[in-house]
Amino acid sequence: MAAPLLTLSDIHVGYGGQPVIDGAELIVGEGERLCLVGRNGSGKSTLLKIAAGLIEPDGGKRIVQTGVTIRYLPQEPDLSGFATTLAYVEAGLAEGDDHHRARSLLEALGMTGEENPAGLSGGEIRRAALARTLAPEPDILLLDEPTNHLDLPAIEWLEDELRRYRSALVLISHDRRFLTSLSRATVWLDRGIARRTDRGFGAFEEWRDAVLEQEERDRHKLDRKIVAELDWLRHGVSGRRKRNMRRLGDLHSLRQDRREGRRATGNVRLTVGEVETSGKLVIEAKVISKNYGARPMVTELSLRLRRNDRLGIVGPNGAGKTTLINLLTGAMPPDKGVVRLGTNLAMVTLDQKREDLDPATPLADVLTGGGSDQVLVGGQYKHVVSYMKDFLFPPEQARTPVGVLSGGERGRLMLARALAKPSNLLVLDEPTNDLDLETLDLLEEMIADYAGTVLLVSHDRDFLDRTATSILAYEGPGRWTEYAGGYSDMIMQRGHGVEAREAAATAPKAAEAGVEAAPRAAAKRKLSFKDKHALGALPKRMEALTQEIAALQGKLHDGALFSRDPKAFQATVSRLEAAQGELASAEEEWLTLEMLREEIEG
């Protein structure tokens, strides 16, 4: 291993008396490529913050070689207090750093540097934070879920960019393709202990399984030894008192070891409720089109989805993937063309943003619908606590309000609720968000065994390769093409992956546009007075809504609000949901008008 730049030794962290990190070690050498993996809640982000020097452990040492520079990318970057994204990125530069890199990285990530941080989406915030972290070219890069909220073009750009860096890397990510491509060593944080193998993530699962199998063999030997010692205790304590007392003490030590031995956390058990088989034809779209103002989302798409198909939909953010799902499932009518749904369909949707989870509802009530302690799964009733355990929720969380759950817990809860409902058509919109690797494995197995049809939107290339039978890919404004196989098969057929929407959204060539191009352009030579007024007023409206949303979220961070004043909690939650909806509508209206203005002026 290269000379250590950063060493964490015998790190201990506990919350409420329960150890989360229990003697973990982490050594980062010059130019190393480490991935840090483990279950949700295992302490990965905490260990990375300790490595960055942001928090102090309860015990242990952090040693950084003199002169070593470290940059850390948090899961939730804070851009408040900065007038523009460029100002935010430049504030992370030190004396002697190249300020030109700040703007060039922002531009490479599809931003200008002049954006107001108050109005950014989650993906834009992540891009700005990446530019700030990468611009100084530090000795060590600590990246916590760098691909969160990024679309496929941005993920693949980041992957290529990090390959060229000479910095040492420590990565936390649920994106297996990303980890496999970049890591050369793996640190597994499990039950508080950090185990290391000098092999990349591609070899992790085989190594992890071997470790767990050896633990099980050792535990079985310990159990047999305890049984033998108990037999001696019942029948053999006589004479030679000193030797017997020592042996009795050894037995107590064995029992203590057995009690304190922390078993690997149980696996999530995914089962899905299925109903009567659907008809052979599930969805048929005939030459459908959908526009938002002047912006085409779907243009003359024809598609046929049969029973047991698994269709993956890929494209950059803003390409219209969710719109396409709504069209294909009948939730939204097309402007032109016809969508025909097959017979006997029972559809269940897993929502991307978890928006339909009421933060005030207890976890158990989300699963049962309230008023019962039973969940109907696969045609059979199951006690809600038992079903919760299948998804790694302890019994004491049954009455926990959804609003206080972590992102990973909310993801598991949405899966639990969706999979309990009888269905023969599953619609999964970004189902991998916030899920740990073990849960992802089991979700893939469930999809493979599912007797119905699956519509899947995802930015996770490995997940698509393991689950999809065909890929519907974005080819430019409104244009979608289906390719047989998974994401890698699509690349082989078309020669490249998903490209950024900005690059794909260039004006069509005259030969492709035909004689209709000139009349369309002529018809949009002028903005109405109402449109001009909206263009001026909407940014202020969006900024006000963003500030209101931040204030409401701040109120909900008060953990005692729900128990102290349930009505105030519910009122805050209701207004937060309304404000988020108003902001989304305002952003969509502004985007449509801004594109129209650019089309006229350009």
pLDDT at residue 162, rounded to an integer: 94
Please, where are the H alpha helices in 109-187?
122-134, 152-164, 176-182
Which tokens sit at 384? 């809600």
Choice among 113-117, 211-215, 245-249, 530-534 with the minimum mean pLDDT: 245-249
d(CA 436, CA 37): 9
| Span 52-74, average pLDDT | 94
pLDDT digits (tens, 9 = 90+) for 400-422: 888 777 666 777 788 888 878 88
Q: Is the pLDDT of residue 518 over 50?
A: no
pLDDT at residue 443, rounded to an integer: 83
Q: Is the pLDDT of residue 46 over 70?
A: yes
pLDDT at residue 51, rounded to an integer: 96
- Burial tier of 512 (Cβ tally within 10 Å: 0-12, 13-18, 19+): exposed
What's this model's pTM, rounded to 2 decimal places? 0.69
Which tokens sit at 488? 């890698």
d(CA 460, CA 452): 22
Please answer whether residues 151 and 162 qualify as being in contact, where contact means their C-beta atoms are separated by less than 8 angstroms. no
C-alpha to C-alpha distances, 150 to 128, 159, 276, 583, nearest whole angstrom = 11, 12, 38, 20
pLDDT digits (tens, 9 = 90+) for 69-112: 999 999 889 998 999 999 999 999 988 888 899 999 999 898 99
pLDDT at residue 521, rounded to an integer: 34
Higher confidence at residue 181 or residue 225? 181
pLDDT digits (tens, 9 = 90+) for 441-452: 878 888 888 888
Continuous segment of H or E residues that includes residue 17: none
Please answer whether residues 34 and 187 qualify as being in contact, where contact means their C-beta atoms are separated by less than 8 angstroms. yes
pLDDT tier at 519 (50, 70, 90 boundaries)? very low
Q: Is the pLDDT of residue 542 over 80?
A: yes
Please answer whether residues 110 and 139 qualify as being in contact, where contact means their C-beta atoms are separated by less than 8 angstroms. no
C-alpha to C-alpha distances, 199 to 115, 123, 180, nearest whole angstrom = 41, 31, 10
Maximum pairwise Cα distance, the chain = 108
pLDDT digits (tens, 9 = 90+) for 211-237: 888 877 777 676 666 666 566 555 554
pLDDT tier at 522 (50, 70, 90 boundaries)? very low
Q: Identify the three-state secondary structure at position 532.
A: helix
| Residue in this structure with the two tokens 């291993």, named with its chain if needed | 1
Which tokens sit at 154? 């941005």
Q: Is the pLDDT of residue 40 over 80?
A: no
Please answer whether residues 174 and 432 qualify as being in contact, where contact means their C-beta atoms are separated by less than 8 angstroms. yes
State what percent of residues in the chain have pLDDT above 90.
Answer: 35
pLDDT at residue 257, rounded to an integer: 57
pLDDT digits (tens, 9 = 90+) for 279-303: 788 999 999 999 988 889 999 999 9
How far the first Cα of the chain sits from its last, in Å, is: 56
> Mean pLDDT across the chain, nearest whole number?
81
Question: Which residues are registered as beta bridge partners of 314?
Answer: 473
pLDDT tier at 265 (50, 70, 90 boundaries)? low
pLDDT digits (tens, 9 = 90+) for 476-511: 999 999 999 899 889 988 888 887 765 433 333 333
